Amino acid sequence: MQVHNKIDNLKTDISNYKSANKKIGFVPTMGALHEGHLSLIKVAKENAEIVVVSVFVNPTQFNDPNDYKKYPRNFSKDTEILKNAGAHIVFMPFEEEIYPGKDTRQFDFGALERVMEGKHRPGHFNGVAQVVSRLFDIVEPDVAVFGEKDFQQLTIIRKMVKDYNYPTKILGAPIVRETDGLAMSSRNQRLTSEQRKNAAFINQILAASKNKTHQLSVEQVENWVTESLNKIDHLKVEYFQIVDQETLQPINNWQENCDKIGCIAVYCGEIRLIDNIKYSL
Ligand code: AMP
């Protein structure tokens, strides 16, 4: 496995594989790797011959400077994990490689970015698009894999690829969970043991809400989830919204003809966690 900090070296390595007609799969991450990330690498390996993984804590997507400062970083452990996972190339860029100057590009994803994460984290998706487009320009992957845990992000990346004609195929991978149901996240390691225990209720309440769709309206299910979680120590729901999986716009009733997903952001102490659940009616 090759580890690169600089674009030039990375590109030379990748172009050797490209001239040998090898298909390049790409998994962008912010590190502090867990099984969720490894599942994306597995999908990349099934769909490409060479797997490139980037580890970069992207400053432009953090709307909260404290979250950026405290985001877990463990580059040597990540390198070990990636070696064991069978990644071929790791890109851990210096910040000035990704942003040689201030990135002033403004992306517009329309209604997709005006709800949920986009609404509550101003500038977040612009930062995500800046870093992912920059990484796509450098790696030029045939396939890139993103997790459904960040469902809105996956939708926005698909839109970016379409709008900007990237020749990259985007694959989504299902959420990987801890045994008690909590969605794996690098931020989970910042929870105290009591917070960690209570964080498991997020998925448990979401799962229970799937059995409520016959008795309760969409709005009532949203309220039930929010109120149930807010009763639990340490948890404070920022939003819970049931939306159309494609347009991400709120739905008003269960009869609407679309696939439905409930997306949630919850503060557990000062740690912000996200999750989602698909409703099949
Ligand atoms: P991050 O390092 O948190 O920016 O995540 C990098 C990629 O891993 C993103 O595409 C995430 O959606 C994905 N990811 C993070 N956690 C999980 C999880 N629990 N299950 C599946 N994918 C995940």
Q: How many A from CA of 33 to the centre of ligand 1?
A: 9
Q: How far apart are CA 279 and CA 265, in angstroms?
A: 17
- CATH entry, 2-173, from 2.60.120.1140, 3.40.50.620, 3.90.700.10, 3.40.50.1110: 3.40.50.620
Q: Which of 27, 38, 40 to mutate to test the pocket of ligand 1 (most atoms within 8 A of CB)?
A: 40
User: Cα dist. 79→24, 35, 119, 276 in Å?
Assistant: 19, 14, 34, 29
Dist CA 86 CA 97 (whole Å):
25
Would you state the pLDDT for residue 71?
96
Residue of the nearest CA to atom 7 in ligand 1?
29
Residue 144 near residue 25 (C-beta atoms within 8 A): yes
Supply the pTM of this predicted model.
Answer: 0.98
d(CA 91, CA 87): 11
Cα 52 to ligand 1 centroid, rounded to whole Å: 15
> How big, in percent rounded to 5, are the helix, strand and coil portions of the chain?
45, 20, 35
3-class secondary structure per residue, 161-192: HHHCCCCCEEEEECCCECCCCCECCHHHHHCC
Query: Which of 55, 149, 160, 178 has most ligand 1 atoms within 8 Å of its beta carbon, as the pocket-test mutant?
Result: 149
Give the 3-state secondary structure of residue 48: coil
> Under 8 Å CB-to-CB from 89, ≥6 apart: which residues?
1, 2, 3, 4, 10, 13, 14, 50, 51, 52, 53
Domain 186-279 is found in CATH 3.30.1300.10: yes
Cα 217 to ligand 1 centre (Å): 31
Give SS3 for 16.
helix
Q: Are 4 and 13 in contact (CB under 8 A)?
A: yes
**Are the beta carbons of 203 and 223 closer than 8 angstroms?**
no
Q: What is the pLDDT of residue 236?
A: 98
List per-residue pLDDT tens for the chain, 281 residues long. 999 999 999 999 999 999 999 999 999 999 999 999 999 999 999 999 999 999 999 999 999 999 999 999 999 999 999 999 999 999 999 999 999 999 999 999 999 999 999 999 999 999 999 999 999 999 999 999 999 999 999 999 999 999 999 999 999 999 999 999 999 999 999 999 999 999 999 999 999 999 999 999 999 999 999 999 999 999 999 999 999 999 999 999 999 999 999 999 999 999 999 999 999 98
| Residue ranges of domains in the chain | 2-173, 186-279
pLDDT value for 281 = 81
Q: Which secondary structure element, helix H or strand E, spans residue 199, and what is its range?
A: helix 193-209
Q: Which residues line ligand 1 (CB under 6 A)?
A: 29-30, 36-37, 39-40, 146-147, 149-150, 173, 175-176, 183-186
CA of 148 to the centre of ligand 1 (A): 8
Positions marked active-site:
37
Contacts of 170 (CB under 8 A, 6+ apart): 143, 144, 145, 146, 154, 157, 158, 161
User: Cα separation of 138 and 165, whole Å?
Assistant: 15
Q: Is the Cβ–Cβ distance between 71 and 31 less than 8 Å?
A: no
CA 33 to ligand 1: nearest atom:
2
Tell me how far apart the alpha carbons of residues 83 and 2 are, in angstroms, rounded to a whole number.
Answer: 9
pLDDT computed for residue 237 by the predictor: 99
φ, ψ dihedrals at 112, nearest 5°: -60, -30
